[in-house]
């Protein structure tokens, strides 16, 4: 348990059986009436963001979320198997929990897995990853100076837009948050 005075960004609260991460908070002391804390909370499972106001000094229940460095091993049916890099313990993470991250996940890739009571809550990938272009149409000669893009299939099977000069087999840097092309990788 903690009071509203202990709130800080990144703290995970257990409100009505659901886990919420504090994105932003502000202590407000109006001229009239009691002080209160205005917060912006994000649901850990659904990603929904809400505004919630607490009276100052009210007790709130905190949740212990264990963030562990893990390595992605393989896909097992509808789950992804990760291995803890410290204890070598394997954790099965449902595909729904991995979300869009599965479009950029390769075997032996490192990620951070958030666990609460040994249940996986989220998977955080690095901000960018290097992937190989599995297939893309060749760029037409003369089109290269226009700055256009074309679709390309990554080795994970996900499709992104790349500049016309990119060819099949090249390694590219991809933003894992929105799937955008960031540049060639060396």
SS3 sequence of the chain: CEEHHHCCCCCEEEECCEEEEEEEEEEECCCCCCCEEEEEEEECCCCCEEEEEEECCCEECECCCEEEEEEEEEEECCEEEEEECCCCCEEEEEHHHHHHHHHHCCCCCEEEEEEECCEEEEEECCCEEEEEEEEECCCCCCCHHHCCEEEEEECCCCEEEEECCCCCCCEEEEECCCCCEEEECC
Distances (CA, A) of 138 to 10, 40, 153, 162: 45, 47, 13, 12
Calpha distance 6→13 (Å, rounded)? 11
User: What is the CB neighbour count within 10 angstroms for residue 24?
Assistant: 13
To which CATH superfamily is domain 66-124 assigned?
A: Nucleic acid-binding proteins (2.40.50.140)
Is the CATH number of domain 128-184 2.40.30.30? no
Domain with CATH 2.30.30.30 in the chain: 2-60
pLDDT value of residue 83: 95
Per-residue pLDDT reduced to its tens digit, 122-172? 888 898 999 999 999 887 656 555 567 889 999 999 999 998 888 899 999
pLDDT value of residue 109: 92
pLDDT value of residue 144: 52
Calpha distance 110→113 (Å, rounded)? 10
Give the tokens for residue 181.
Answer: 């092309």
Calpha distance 47→175 (Å, rounded)? 19
Low-confidence ranges of the chain (pLDDT < 70): 140-147
CATH number listed for the domain at residues 2-60:
2.30.30.30
Give the tokens for residue 135.
Answer: 């297939």
pLDDT value of residue 2: 84
> Model's pTM, two decimal places?
0.72
Q: Are 111 and 70 in contact (CB under 8 A)?
A: yes
Domain with CATH 2.40.50.140 in the chain: 66-124, 128-184
């Amino acid at each position: 348990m903690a009071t509203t005075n202990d709130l800080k960004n990144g703290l995970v609260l257990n409100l009505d059986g659901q886990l919420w991460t504090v994105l932003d908070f502000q202590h407000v002391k109006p001229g009239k009436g009691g002080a209160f804390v205005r917060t912006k909370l994000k649901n850990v499972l659904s990603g929904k963001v809400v505004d919630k106001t607490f009276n100052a000094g009210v007790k709130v229940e905190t949740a212990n979320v264990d963030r562990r460095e893990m390595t992605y091993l393989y896909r097992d049916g509808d789950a992804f198997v990760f291995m803890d890099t410290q204890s070598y313990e394997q954790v099965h993470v449902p595909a729904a929990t991995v979300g869009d991250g599965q479009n950029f996940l390769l075997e032996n890739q490192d990620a951070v897995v958030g666990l609460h009571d040994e249940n996986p809550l989220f998977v955080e990938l690095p901000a960018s990853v290097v992937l190989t272009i599995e297939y893309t149409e060749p760029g037409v000669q003369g089109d290269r100076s226009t700055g256009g893009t074309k679709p390309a299939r990554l080795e994970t099977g996900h499709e992104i837009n790349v500049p016309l000069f990119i060819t099949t087999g090249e390694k590219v840097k991809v933003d894992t948050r929105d799937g955008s092309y960031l540049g060639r990788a060396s």
